Amino acid sequence: MHYAIFYNPTAGRGNNEDTAKKIATKLKAAGHTSEPLTAPNPKKAVEKICQAVTEYDGLISIGGDGTLNLVATAFLQAKKTIPLGIIPGGTINNFAKRWQIPHDLDAAVNLILDQHLKQVGIGACQDRQKAIVSSLTFGSLADISNQVRQSEKRKFGLLIYPLKGIKQISQKASYKVQVQTEDFNEKIKVWIFLLTTTHLVGGIDYVPSSPHAFHVSILHNMRLGKLFQLLFFVLTGNLRQKKAHTLTYLKPKKIKLTPLEKKQIYSRIDGDKGPVLPLTIEFLDGFLPIYAKKTQDDTSSK
């Protein structure tokens, strides 16, 4: 097979180029060919990957959820997919952890060489022009993330998020939004909106796994006395699964988010700044073919 190896030379610890060379060597030893694929910015990266789906037999992505988002977005825009190998290497690797992709380079490459494909689900918004590989957030959680610089992520890792979160709590920021799904339609003041394609946030299991749909947790209509719930989420990434007037949990396949105020509400997708609301988001079951371990149920997309 002929692979494209996609990576951002400046992301992570800046060693992605060396990693790509090691992967190329291992592929060659196994009888495969490859070429590096890089771009100066996200827009160019999506354009190059869109072209790559017609020129290569498969694509290997080095990085975290943000890098995978560029790949999946390109697949959506090209209306075509090719087998995807994942080499975890970013600050946030929820998607790789969910599908048991090893962090060890040799093990991850061996998984690709095993050639076992699993069709897994992802999300899409903006008329299927933008992918959601792992998560979409808005409200205080997204505002916290949008305040975090790349240099802070490299220096402090995931610790930077609770540090920013404690500061955000005092600002009492909420957004009035209409949330519509197949069986839910309400106007609520949202503090934290969290949509995920997996049951992991920051590598932590935060809800029971459920196939073929999104996990949506909404912290809303908060009073000052309930702020400990927001603090609990910021510090642990774990929304407690119990009925509460301030917490709504949904498992939709499609969701529409409509702002009910004039100020712009920015989303955060897979760790990077995303589009403003309104948004219509749909779950694309089995869209993405990834190299993964063989399990008893290879058709499930949890």
User: What is the rounded CA–CA span in Å between residue 271 and residue 63?
Assistant: 12
CB 36 within 8 A of CB 87: no
List pLDDT tens digits, range 117-151. 999 999 999 999 999 999 999 986 555 555 555 55
CB 24 within 8 A of CB 85: no
Q: Topology of domain 135-269, per CATH? A: Tumour Suppressor Smad4 (2.60.200)
Predicted local distance difference test score (pLDDT) of residue 72? 99
List pLDDT tens digits, range 192-230. 898 999 865 555 555 555 568 999 988 887 665 555 555
CB 34 within 8 A of CB 3: yes
Spans of all domains in the chain: 2-122+285-291, 135-269
Q: What does residue 179 show for φ and ψ, rounded to 5 degrees?
A: -110, 120
Q: Output the six-digit token pair for 65.
A: 């959820």
| pLDDT at residue 290 is higher than 90 | yes
Is 223 exposed, middle or buried, given 0-12, 13-18 or 19+ CB atoms closer than 10 A? exposed
- With respect to CATH, is domain 2-122+285-291 assigned 3.40.50.10330? yes
CB 150 within 8 A of CB 12: no
| pLDDT at residue 160 is higher than 50 | no
Q: Output the six-digit token pair for 75.
A: 């697949």
Identity of the amino acid at 50: C
Bridge partner list, 280: 256
Predicted local distance difference test score (pLDDT) of residue 238? 53
pTM of the model: 0.84
List pLDDT tens digits, range 221-270. 766 555 555 555 555 555 554 445 678 889 999 999 999 999 899 999 99
Handedness of CA 70, 72, 75, 77 (dihedral sign): negative
Q: Output the six-digit token pair for 34.
A: 């490859």
